[in-house]
Each structure stands twice: as structure tokens, then as C-alpha cells.
Amino acid sequence: MNKKTKIIIAGICIIALLAVGAAVAMFVMLMNKEDDTPQNNGVYTMDEGNYQQIMDDMGEQVQDGYFETYMTTDWIFPDGSSEATDALLGNSPNNVKPIRCEVLLKDSGEKLFSTGVIPVGAQIPSIKLDVDLEAGVYDATCMIYLLDEMENGTYEDYSSTGFNVTIIIQN
């Protein structure tokens, strides 16, 4: 074999090794990318932009991990220590599991209100904040947790979603 042929064969071998190395590197990067993909674990934040898509996904029957609720998104309180005049929060009769709720201030995460277990088809009769707020308008998130009943009769959070609510304290 002459020198020119040896150089060509060596060049082809180097190119083949580089191609195999690139393929392995791409495979490893793709596998790591799949592992880094965040999982939603049944948690959705519903807003005007994705409301219809989530409702379409739910279809006519509420699937396991999904749930329906009904609520108002502007809660008006005469003052920081009174019940809301128009707040509505309930667990849809279409659900198969109870829910619980927490209202958190968006800027600080401070818990303003929380419920106990709300059975399927029930609604909270009145809403009074757990914190006495000054007069003003507050942006908050109403976190709603679908509950799974344990064998011992207690409940654990199964899935959740958050809704934007506006808390209005008049005086």
C-alpha cells in the first residue's frame, strides 16, 4: 500500500469516528433534554388565553386529575374584617372528588383565606378573609386543590390549579 492510500484510509477512519462520536453526543443531549422537561403533575394555571383549551380537554366528563369549579374573580369586601358581598366559590357537581382552596397575595404569597374540605356540589356560604387588609385593591391567586381521600379518612392534595382574583377592600 502506498503512502497516499494509507492517508486516505486514515482520513476515512477519522471521519467515521467523528460521525459516531457526534451521534453519541446528540443521543446523550436528547436524553438529558427529556429528563429536564418539567412535568405539570396535573397543575394548571387557567387564564383567558388557555381557558377554552382546558375546557375542551376536560370534555363532557371530568377525567381523573381534572376538576371543575365555579367562582367569581372580583371579591368585594366592605372593609377588611367583613364578609364579601359578592364572592362565590364552589365545587362543581360534575366532579368526583372534594376540593379545598387557598387565596394568596400575588406579591408576597401571604395566605389571605383558606377553606376546609368542600364536598362535591357544595359551595362556600360566605367568604371572610383570615387577614384584616387595609382599603385598596389586591391581586391574588385562588389555588384550588383536588383532594384524594386516604384509607384513614384524611385527604391529600391530588392536583391543583390557580385562578387570578381581585380582592377589593372598600373602607
Q: Residues 118-136: pLDDT tens digits?
A: 999 999 999 999 999 999 9
| 62 pLDDT above the threshold of 70 | no
This model's pTM is above 0.75: no
**From 11-20, 46-55, 79-88, 128-137, the region with the lowest mean pLDDT:** 46-55
Task: Give 107's contacts (C-beta < 8 A, 6+ positions apart).
Answer: 139
Cα–Cα distance, 142 to 72 (Å, whole number): 10
- Taking only the tens place, the pLDDT of each residue in 146-156 is 999 999 999 99
Cα–Cα distance, 137 to 166 (Å, whole number): 7
DSSP state, residue 38: P
Cα–Cα distance, 164 to 67 (Å, whole number): 17
Cell numbers 443521543 correspond to 27
- State residue 61's pLDDT score: 46
DSSP state, residue 69: E
Which homologous superfamily is 46-169 in?
Immunoglobulins (2.60.40.10)
- State residue 105's pLDDT score: 97
